[in-house]
Amino acid sequence: MDLAPWLLEGPPWVRYRARLDLAGQPPDAPEVQSDRAAMLADPQVRGLLAGLAAWPGPVLTSHKSAGHPLHRLVFLADLGLRAGDPGVDEVLERILAHQSAQGPFQVLMNIPTHFGGSGRDEWAWALCDAPLLLYALAQMGLAADGRVQAGVDYLAGLLRANGWPCAVSPEMGRFRGPGRKDDPCPYANLAMLKLLAVLPAWRDGPAARTGGEVLLDLWARSRDAHPYLFYMGTDFRKLKAPLVWYDLAHLLDVLSAFPALRRDDRLHEMAAVAAAKADAAGRWTLESIWKAWSDWEFGQKKAPSRWLTLLVARSLRRLAA
């Protein structure tokens, strides 16, 4: 089904990504440039960016807080905002100002003492936020920056034979997620793969293959494998946007970005679950929403969402190719 006419009736940020990701138009095409300019002027996009000017914003107490500036930043990177766009450079400089001694960039966190932390607000990083910060920096045009490369190298070096573990910076003390320390952390693997997918030097390498195998194996064993309490059950399979947490649409989007994984039967099984949720017109409706994004086009469950439809259709198109 040709979704283009319907998608191109949507908000400018949907139109921009649809032209690039589904229609295959080049970035310098006049229509693409026009929609990109409209995206940068869009009040909702400008509002998100304005909110990031005070980075780091509120203390990060839960990585599942969909409205936290970290996830707003990642969404803007998903849309295609980049260094040089109005207001972006100031945000990037505030992020770059807080690089840890190990290499990853930090956010402001507070881990209670009963969870092994200090109980104080402090700059720190964890494998469920550091890859996302690096993803945003790389996607926004700083992939070749030596500071970004140092962060990527360090995080990639934490890989074990069974994927990336739950890992945190020294400031977080004894903190570790609710799981066995020898297990891989599913969300950390997803975040790392999201990062590596936009770095050509890493995308086809052994680290990406190991992380991909971890997530595909968890899908194949979803009934009995739940490391760090990450399940692939009913809630996981509900279609949700934006891509914030550990869920079906997010995994499909990330895993389908790796050419080496596109023939894997397990990934096609995952895709079939999402494909079956389309309506007769080939459009997808949100099955779960993030309340922090309720004002957005994808903040409702009553009608098909152009943004969700674009995300799922893009994943399926990659696999079909």
Summarised one tens digit per residue, pLDDT across range 58-69 is 988 888 899 999
Domain ranges of the chain: 1-41, 43-197, 233-321
Distance of alpha carbon 169 from alpha carbon 123, whole angstroms: 9
| Residue 48 scores a pLDDT above 90 | yes
Predicted confidence band of residue 308 (pLDDT cuts 50, 70, 90): very high
Residues 6+ apart with CB under 8 A from 146: none
Helix (H, G, I), strand (E, B) or coil at 79: helix
Element (H, E) at 269: helix 265-275
Q: What is the DSSP letter of 138?
A: I
The per-residue pLDDT for 211 is 98
pLDDT one-digit tens code per residue, 88-125: 999 999 999 999 999 999 999 887 776 666 778 899 99
Three-state secondary-structure class, residue 67: coil
Distance CA 69, CA 67 (A): 6
C-beta separation of 186 from 246 below 8 A: yes
Average pLDDT in the chain: 95
Give the number of other Cβ atoms within 10 Å of residue 150's Cβ.
16
pLDDT tens, position by position, 126-142: 999 999 999 999 999 99
Contacts of 60 by beta carbon, 8 Å cutoff, 6+ apart: 68, 70, 107, 108, 109, 110, 129
pLDDT band at 81; cut points 50, 70, 90: very high
